[in-house]
Amino acid sequence: MTAFDWTGAHALPVRVYYEDTDFSGFVYHASYLRFMERGRTELLRGLAGDQSDLHRDADGLVFVVRRMEIDYLKPARMDDALTVLTGTRELRGASMHLTQAVRRGAEILVRAEVVVACVREGRAIRLPESLRRALSRPVAGRNQSLTLLAP
């Protein structure tokens, strides 16, 4: 994965609960997927409101994960306070290419590259222009002071 400038990324605080861990006491790998889904959802909520409203207002538009590449670098444990960072890497016709990271303090534990497709009735459609514009400007929940580069 290439370096990413986290300035302007959306930041979502997450606490690790017992249900997020496996028998070893570490966060179960699939729990990070849930954390990152929440990060993407909150990014979109900050840009365009609830996804259910967007779905209704845009005649059935939905977002689906098309591709995800994940590096698990270090484990998290129960009660850890984490931050899920979500930033836009690239916008294409019908997809958003996002970079995500799960941090504990300044330490990156997990990083992911995610391609999210815009779909209506099972077919890819262009990202709405309003969402395109919104993805390029600061929103509530974005942390303007993050300058950490992913290794």
Give me the active site residues, please: 22
Residue 10 has phi, psi (to 5 degrees) of -75, 135
User: Among 125, 123, 74, 126, which Cα is nearest to 103's?
Assistant: 74
The CA–CA distances, whole Å, from 62 to 33, 87, 98 equal 19, 19, 16
Cβ atoms of residues 103 and 71 within 8 Å: no
Q: How far apart are CA 2 and CA 151, in angstroms?
A: 8
Go through the chain and tell me how many residues it has: 151
SS3 132: helix
